[in-house]
Chains A and B, each alone.
Chain A
Amino acid sequence: MEPGGRNPCCNHMLNHCPPRERAPTVLSVHGSAQSRAGQCGHGAAACLTACRTTAPGQPTGPPHCRCPPGPLLPHSLPCRPHPPPEWHPWDSPPSPSSASPLETSVFGKAIQALSRISDELWLDPSEKGLALRSVNSCRSAYGCVLFSPVFFQHYQWSTSVDMKNGTKSNLNCKLGIKSLLPIFRCLNSLERNVEVCKIFTRSDKCKVVIQLFCRHDLNSSVYSEMFVGPHEFEFFQIGVDTEITFCCKELKGMLLFSEATHAPITMHFDFPGKPMSLSIDHMLLEANFVLATLADEPSRASSPQSLCLSQKRKRSDLPCSNSKVGKKDSKAMESISSKVAPRKLYADEILSNISALENSGSPIMKRVNSDTEEEPGSPSLRKCKAKKNLMEVMPKSYFCISDIEHLPPLSKKPGFGVE
């Protein structure tokens, strides 16, 4: 076995391959299609990229790996991907080569196949290509898929990186397959929507960055808007003009549940980026759902969606089709200061126009629009921030607002609000 804990299967392969004196330590794999206007610059929390060139005459399947199952030494540099709150690929992506159609589904299917063997996946780049390997804990099954460099539109790996302590570091990359699988859950949607897929990693960084660049054709989405007047609610108290955007799919689940319980729903929200919460306070049960909202970027222009819904800003609120805002949660209500002021453009009252699509499945985000640009430092907002315990409810770990199927049709990269 090679000292330093390299993947022994690779070592075995070396007998068949040219010796790797310098292990690859920088892996940059990417493919791209023509970028178009409206290309969504963000993906889900974790983005996985696999790209494929359809180069004629090239073998499309991975070559056979003849490594027998053998013990895998635990490597010295665990490489676990975790979705960082903001995406900064530390390696600048290589410039895209000429456009060609891309498929991520083959890559995704390889990961799915290997996930049947083990919960861990090794990512092994070499000049032969990128190998994905998996062996199970009782050493009775082994799988390896080697993607040749021509599978990718751009495949780049480089020599070892000098670590701070003077040693050279080779890429030893083992990933938890459970982190990767959700990304490839919906392969059909990937094929339709993903234009580019990029993977970056370095041995001195403890993460693998996978980016999906999706295409959202704005001109084929349906925009929907629903106005619900304040008198439709049992309790309606709004302090601040707000526009929030969140994922419809998660809300639907809550609404269906509330219908079953016949209990009213209380909804609390703050300015964009802060989470919103939905709660049911019933005699027999209590339910709380907390959803992240898209954060406002300072330079953000109105999205195409809000421009399309440029009706008059009527007075309206929360998007509960069958439920009403409960009045039980009086303590929570303190957080949203309510000032009885006549309606005017910069009133403290929230003007919320929510887009709701009641039965449709189109990827619509609910928007609560406002006419005003609310400064984060304004007194009423500070009050909200100070008082409410929404933040207590909010889980500490970062979570993704939406899955691949329901990406918002925005062209900018949003920052998610994270506590």
Chain B
Amino acid sequence: MEGVSEDNNAIYVELAAENLSRALKTAQNARALKVKLTNKHFPCLTVSIELVSVSSSSRMVTHDIPVKVIPRKLWRNLQEPAVPDADVSIYLPVLKTMKSVVEKMKNISNQLIIEANLNGDLNLKIESELVCVTTHFKDLGNPPSASENESEDCSPEQMAEVQVDIRKFLQFLAGQQVNPTRGVCNIVSHKMVHFDLLHEDVSLQYFIPALS
């Protein structure tokens, strides 16, 4: 694979996620899948899928998804955001459990508070006029902290919290099809929450900003 040039060894393209997702649906039981950047009168992402068929040979399905190539001068807008130092880092519980809990909470309020401490405790809290609901997750474990300041300044019991839009959090949870090998939640108090999901060969990161 080659990029634009040796110095700029990348190609940035923009496409409608729905088009790619629909094209990939045909690849559920594919033997092989190849993605190419092609030019068929306009730039396309060509997804070639080799399907298993009843006879011994395979069947090829090709989808051409139109894409927009992003010029180099706009690349800096699309760089990975710098991750600020987290106040607390904690391993996530099973995503499915969180999802079922948060789905019920969504009916009560739109604002969700995520708080965690260095003792392996993670709480999900919502509040309304009539009721407060908190779900406690314990003994989750914390990844080894890179920063030395944290262990000095705050006690392990102290919670770092952030309030986010519950729908954004649910979108993140609903999107996960496969349970990650490891999921880390980094909280920057009152500013944002950062999720880092590690699968075998892939890592996915999500940033959800705090509600103002």
Assess the B40–A308 pair: CB atoms within 8 A: yes
B155 at the interface (CB under 8 A from A): no
Instruction: Please tell me if A378 contacts chain B, counting CB pairs below 8 Å.
Output: no
Least CB distance, B97 to chain A, in whole angstroms: 30
Number of A-B contacts (CB under 8 A): 71
How many residues of chain B are within 8 Å of chain A by beta carbon? 22
What residues of A have a CB within 8 angstroms of the CB of B16 in the complex? 220
Smallest beta-carbon distance A236→chain B, Å: 12
Known: A358-B26, A360-B25. A226 touches B60 (CB 8 A): yes
Give the docked Cα–Cα distance between A220 and B18 (Å): 11
- Asked if B130 CB lies within 8 Å of chain A CBs, one says no
Q: How far is the CA of A358 from the CA of B40 in the complex (A)?
A: 22
- A-chain residues with CB within 8 Å of residue B191 when the two chains form the complex: none
Chain B residue at smallest Cβ distance from A226: B61
Q: Tell me the residues in window 21-61 of chain B with beta carbons closer than 8 Å to chain A beta carbons.
A: 22-23, 25-26, 40-42, 44, 53-55, 57, 59-61
- The smallest C-beta distance from B66 to any residue of chain A, in angstroms, reads 5
User: Among B42, B54, B57, B64, which residue has its beta carbon within 8 angstroms of that of A222?
Assistant: B64
Closest to B16 in A: A220
- Distance to closest chain B CB from A366 (angstroms): 13
Is residue A307 within 8 Å, beta carbon to beta carbon, of the partner chain? yes
Using A229-B57, A231-B55, A311-B62 as known contacts, say yes or no to A224 and B23 having CB atoms under 8 A apart.
Answer: yes
B63 at the interface (CB under 8 A from A): yes
Query: Is A362 on the interface with B (CB-CB < 8 A)?
Result: yes
Tell me if B64 and A358 are in contact (CB < 8 A). no
* Complexed CA–CA distance, A358 and B66 (Å): 18
CB of B126 to closest CB in A, whole Å: 34
Interface residues of B in 110-135 (CB under 8 A from A): none
**Chain B nearest CB, measured from A303 CB (Å):** 11
Of residues 231 through 251 on chain A, the ones whose CB sits less than 8 Å from some CB of chain B are 231-232
A219 at the interface (CB under 8 A from B): yes
In the complex, what's the smallest C-beta–C-beta distance from B140 to chain A, in angstroms? Answer: 38
Contact status A222-B59, CB under 8 Å: no
By a CB distance below 8 angstroms, the chain A residues around B55 are 229, 231-232
Tell me if A397 is interfacial: C-beta within 8 Å of chain B: no
Interface string of A307-323 (1 = CB under 8 A from B): 11111000000000000
CB distance from A226 to the nearest CB of B (A): 5
Given contacts A231-B55, A232-B53, A359-B22, contact A224 B41 (CB under 8 A): no
* Interface pair A224/B59, CB less than 8 Å apart: no
- In the complex, whether A347 has a CB less than 8 A from a CB of chain B is no
The chain A residue with its CB closest to the CB of B62 is A225
A231, B25: Cα distance in complex, Å: 25
Kindly provide the distance from the CB of A347 to the nearest chain B CB, expressed in whole angstroms. Answer: 22
**Interfacial chain B residues near A289, Cβ < 8 Å:** none
Tell whether A89 is near chain B: CB-to-CB under 8 Å: no
Distance of A304 Cα from B41 Cα, bound (Å): 8
Collect the chain B residues with CB atoms within 8 Å of residue A226's CB: 59-62
Tell me the smallest distance from the CB of B165 to a CB of chain A, in Å. Answer: 26
Docked CA distance A309–B62 (Å): 9
Picked from A222, A223, A227, A358, the residue with its CB within 8 Å of the CB of B60 is: A227
With a cutoff of 8 Å between Cβ atoms, the chain A residues found around residue B53 in the complex are 232
CB of B60, distance to nearest CB on chain A (Å): 5
Q: How far is the CA of A148 from the CA of B197 in the complex (A)?
A: 59
Residues of A within 8 A of B41 (CB): 304, 307-308
Bound CA–CA A219/B26 (angstroms): 21
Contacts of A219 in B (CB 8 A): 42, 66
At the interface, yes or no: B19 with Cβ under 8 Å from chain A?
yes
Taking a contact as CB atoms under 8 Å apart, the answer to whether B66 and A221 are in contact is yes
- Give me 18 A-to-B residue pairs in the complex whose CB atoms sit less than 8 angstroms apart, sorted by A's number: A222-B22, A222-B64, A223-B44, A224-B23, A224-B64, A225-B64, A226-B61, A228-B59, A308-B40, A308-B44, A309-B40, A311-B62, A357-B63, A359-B22, A359-B26, A360-B23, A362-B19, A362-B22
4 closest A-B pairs by beta carbon, nearest first, are: A223-B64, A360-B22, A308-B40, A359-B25
Q: State the A residues within 8 Å of B (CB).
A: 219-229, 231-232, 304, 307-311, 356-362
